Chain A
């Protein structure tokens, strides 16, 4: 009898069994790595005798989690047993009266429809016109399919809508990327500087753990944040900065280090290029100058700069994660990189280590066909330093009236909920309406599924095989994901979906296996292990081949940059006509009666992905808008009162949000946790709970360097009455 019979909670027969805790001896562990967020912590899914997953626990040997999963990982069971899950393939139909609905279809029919559409697009427009929005491992399978088909037109929100600027900035400075997990040596640092990072509210597992270690070791923590974040509350220094002025602070710190001679002279002398340019550039960027802009006292700027210098080289100025704020974000990340370079932390213990990953051999397949144009070509020469596809450009390339040279005609979407992750929702809606076909592969009826022509129900990470995880860490390591239970309902793993579509397109050679476990077994054997062994251990570490973690004292080292050195003065930027050293630019401030919208994360949720997960919904079922008591007084807002938000462009949130009156936020800003305000009724728990901050983000400041979408230049005001009753104003 399969587990399917015991799938739902309400199966009363097993009620009394499910009440008592089950001893670990009666549970079978299956190795996996988590997909609730992108940290991919490896763990064990414990299955009881009746075939039900009871809990997911971290793998002790895994450097991503050290045996401890975060609340999302622990709540992974909620993703599997969510009764709102997509159960069958869905196809959009139109009735005679023009109204539309989704009907359930067989896999045969749904896959045929997708394959036929792909053939059609290839004939009419070329395979490049089929685009992909993806995130995480689900997208990886579809990426392979599309490459085999002839398209490299993919974009991940993670780049232009999140960490793109720092990738480009650090690459131009150090010749290396800040990966994921970031190569920050927090656990051994003496000084952790967080400017634009809210570790503890973002639950980047190993980093939160290392910050906890740093606290135990007595490290100095300096947090720059307009809000008293959790990290700020655990810091020795909290700099309550005025929003949008961070570059001024960073340059003032650089000024102090240079003028007081506190920078790491040997390191800078040996490894960097452009110090003289930098000295000249910052000579007038004094703490007093920065004080007028940032409202941080000059003495505090000096004290914190000195604290960093005295800890150097064991100091981490954290690159941040979501850095798309005001449109000059690559420059701000550059300033941050320069600061790290002056402190000499790159390649040093307690600063940044040299990560290494295991190179997993590719399962043999023919060369991918060369597409005529790729994501690089949409940009039309703009954003020269972009290293990945830009999602907003993919949207614009899908809308004929933007007249892009290369037009995209159809989409696949996997692992990302575009209506809540794309800034400028009207742009997304127009793009979705313009393309001829959208296929969405997802586990839940997320808002994006409402825009699809075909919806394919994917099995969750606990129900499938997947690529071998190999991320760069201190120690190279791999992790196995295998199914703990059979896919529930009629869901299928991503690899199966990709293979089925591929075979319908005649691409059998790219999918030369019957079950993905064959691929994994082959790859593991190439790596000196096997599927059998990995099933028992879950994570395997390998010795480093690229050399030590850190630079030895006075070691000769060539950086992967134009000059072979760390570029304080960026030749890449200069070559493309951008400021080689960052300048401070003033950004617009909120008009009267408006407040800057700042948004962030909560440690128990992953953006909008987990809002319906019953275990995590128990922890937080909706977001609130944080309002300073002075502002609340002014507007007569009470704690718990529901308000609608309206932004500077007249857009109003679809749902109201509760007010939290708190001193933790400044009087010129409000704060919300991102990922709520779902608009799909099929999400029984998440529908209508909280408000979507994305609806308020319509003013996008595009970064000219790599196309990042700066989102923090949006201002909101409060509506205490339901705007639907008034019937006017533009709706989001």
Chain B
């Protein structure tokens, strides 16, 4: 089982619903965010291209954040979801330094936090809050090992890219272009 997410940049309008939904679902403190929107503009008026990306932790297959954690608080759950056990985290910040996507942050309570693919919902068969709320339905989530899952079907016939592949972490967020 390998959970992954596909984000269709042809449909994303950068509304930020995924950010607010994550905040209310996971009680992310104000001033922090587990996911965010990046706007990318290129060209000269009027030959322009514009892309919106809903980004978050990539739950990498080869995650440096799990490797570098001295206590094992940062670990991989079933399906490849990378999470942090709050009570094992000492707040050393190594994982934050090791993430090429700057997806982690230091929670005010002391431990390190980040997107968990809403593990508590996935375990009950529900979708992550961001995927469930997205009005353009541009977020696809599911098991890559299942050829009929939402995410597998989404990336099947489309061109896609990942962010910073040169970092070598094997990210599991696929941006459909």
From A23, A74, A240, give the contact of B124 (CB < 8 A): A23
From B11, B14, B51, B133, give the contact of A68 (CB < 8 A): B133
Known: A230-B50, A234-B10. A667 touches B45 (CB 8 A): yes
Report the minimal beta-carbon distance from A6 to chain B, rounded to whole angstroms.
14
From A56, A58, A228, A616, give the contact of B50 (CB < 8 A): A228
B46 x A74 contact (CB < 8 A): no
CA A75 to CA B44, docked complex, whole Å = 35
Scoring B residues 34 to 50 as 1 if CB is less than 8 Å from chain A, else 0, what string do you get? 00000001011110111
B109 x A209 contact (CB < 8 A): no
Scoring B residues 4 to 40 as 1 if CB is less than 8 Å from chain A, else 0, what string do you get? 0000001101111101110111110011010000000
A666 x B13 contact (CB < 8 A): no
Query: Which residues on B sit within 8 Å (CB–CB) of A240?
Result: 45-46
Q: Could you tell me which residues of chain A, from 33 to 85, have a CB within 8 Å of some CB in chain B?
A: 54-58, 65, 68-71, 74-75, 77
B45 x A628 contact (CB < 8 A): yes
Scoring A residues 586 to 630 as 1 if CB is less than 8 Å from chain B, else 0, what string do you get? 000000000000000001100000000011101110000000100
**A5 CB–B CB distance under 8 Å:** no
29 cross-chain CB contacts under 8 A: A21-B26, A21-B118, A21-B120, A55-B24, A55-B25, A58-B133, A71-B15, A71-B16, A203-B135, A208-B13, A209-B137, A215-B11, A216-B11, A228-B46, A230-B14, A230-B50, A230-B52, A233-B48, A234-B10, A240-B46, A603-B14, A614-B30, A615-B23, A618-B30, A619-B20, A663-B45, A663-B48, A664-B48, A664-B50
Q: Chain B: how many interface residues by the 8 Å CB criterion?
A: 41
Q: Could you tell me which residues of chain A, from 196 to 231, have a CB within 8 Å of some CB in chain B?
A: 200-201, 203, 205, 208-209, 211-212, 215-216, 228, 230
**A662 CB–B CB distance under 8 Å:** yes
A603 x B13 contact (CB < 8 A): yes
A230 x B24 contact (CB < 8 A): no
Query: Which residues on A sit within 8 Å (CB–CB) of B25?
Result: 21, 54-55
CA A490 to CA B124, docked complex, whole Å = 40
**B2 CB–A CB distance under 8 Å:** no
**B103 CB–A CB distance under 8 Å:** no
From B33, B120, B132, B134, give the contact of A618 (CB < 8 A): B33
**A18 CB–B CB distance under 8 Å:** yes
B41 x A664 contact (CB < 8 A): yes
Known: A57-B133, A69-B133, A619-B20. 12 other contacts (CB 8 A): A19-B109, A55-B21, A56-B24, A65-B135, A70-B135, A71-B16, A75-B20, A203-B15, A603-B16, A618-B19, A663-B43, A665-B45
CA A238 to CA B30, docked complex, whole Å = 38
**A726 CB–B CB distance under 8 Å:** no
**A97 CB–B CB distance under 8 Å:** no
Report the minimal beta-carbon distance from B117 to chain A, rounded to whole angstroms.
12
**A20 CB–B CB distance under 8 Å:** yes
Known: A77-B24, A663-B41. A215 touches B48 (CB 8 A): no
Query: Which residues on B sit within 8 Å (CB–CB) of A71?
Result: 15-17, 19-20
Query: Which residues on B sit within 8 Å (CB–CB) of A54?
Result: 24-25
A18 x B27 contact (CB < 8 A): yes
Chain B residues close to A by CB (< 8 Å): 10-11, 13-17, 19-21, 23-27, 30-31, 33, 41, 43-46, 48-52, 109, 118, 120, 124, 126, 129, 132-138
**Max chain A CB contacts within 10 Å: which of B33, B46, B134?**
B46
From B10, B17, B30, B43, give the contact of A74 (CB < 8 A): B17
A69 x B17 contact (CB < 8 A): yes
Query: Which residues on A sit within 8 Å (CB–CB) of B126?
Result: 24
Chain A residues close to B by CB (< 8 Å): 18-21, 23-24, 54-58, 65, 68-71, 74-75, 77, 200-201, 203, 205, 208-209, 211-212, 215-216, 228, 230, 232-234, 238, 240, 603-604, 614-616, 618-620, 628, 662-667
Query: Which residues on B sit within 8 Å (CB–CB) of A75?
Result: 20, 24
Report the minimal beta-carbon distance from B55 to chain A, rounded to whole angstroms.
14
Known: A18-B27, A19-B27. A619 touches B120 (CB 8 A): no
Query: Which residues on A sit within 8 Å (CB–CB) of B137?
Result: 68, 209, 212
Query: Which residues on B sit within 8 Å (CB–CB) of A212?
Result: 11, 135-138
Known: A21-B26, A614-B30, A618-B23. A70 touches B50 (CB 8 A): no
CA A700 to CA B35, docked complex, whole Å = 42
CA A364 to CA B27, docked complex, whole Å = 45
Query: Which residues on B sit within 8 Å (CB–CB) of A205?
Result: 135
For the complex of A and B, the 3 pairs showing the least CB-CB separation, nearest first, are A200-B13, A233-B50, A603-B15
Query: Which residues on B sit within 8 Å (CB–CB) of A200?
Result: 13-15
A662 x B41 contact (CB < 8 A): yes
Query: Which residues on A sit within 8 Å (CB–CB) of B138?
Result: 212
CA A135 to CA B7, docked complex, whole Å = 36
Report the minimal beta-carbon distance from B169 to chain A, rounded to whole angstroms.
26
CA A70 to CA B50, docked complex, whole Å = 21
B20 x A74 contact (CB < 8 A): yes
- Closest chain B residue, CB of each to CB of A68: B135
Report the minimal beta-carbon distance from A223 to chain B, rounded to whole angstroms.
12
Query: Which residues on A sit within 8 Å (CB–CB) of B26?
Result: 21
Query: Which residues on B sit within 8 Å (CB–CB) of A618?
Result: 19-20, 23, 30-31, 33
A666 x B45 contact (CB < 8 A): yes
- Closest chain B residue, CB of each to CB of A20: B27
Query: Which residues on A sit within 8 Å (CB–CB) of B133?
Result: 57-58, 68-69, 74
B45 x A664 contact (CB < 8 A): yes
A68 x B134 contact (CB < 8 A): yes
Report the minimal beta-carbon distance from A686 to chain B, rounded to whole angstroms.
14
Query: Which residues on B sit within 8 Å (CB–CB) of A232?
Result: 50
CA A200 to CA B20, docked complex, whole Å = 17
CA A619 to CA B16, docked complex, whole Å = 7
Report the minimal beta-carbon distance from B139 to chain A, rounded to whole angstroms.
11
- Closest chain A residue, CB of each to CB of B50: A233
CA A228 to CA B14, docked complex, whole Å = 14
A615 x B17 contact (CB < 8 A): no
B11 x A234 contact (CB < 8 A): yes
- Closest chain A residue, CB of each to CB of B44: A663
Query: Which residues on B sit within 8 Å (CB–CB) of A216?
Result: 11
Report the minimal beta-carbon distance from A222 to chain B, rounded to whole angstroms.
14
Query: Which residues on A sit within 8 Å (CB–CB) of B10?
Result: 215, 234
CA A667 to CA B46, docked complex, whole Å = 11
Query: Which residues on B sit within 8 Å (CB–CB) of A203?
Result: 15, 135
From A56, A208, A233, A604, give the contact of B16 (CB < 8 A): A604
**Max chain A CB contacts within 10 Å: which of B10, B24, B109, B134?**
B24
From A70, A201, A238, A667, give the contact of B17 (CB < 8 A): A70
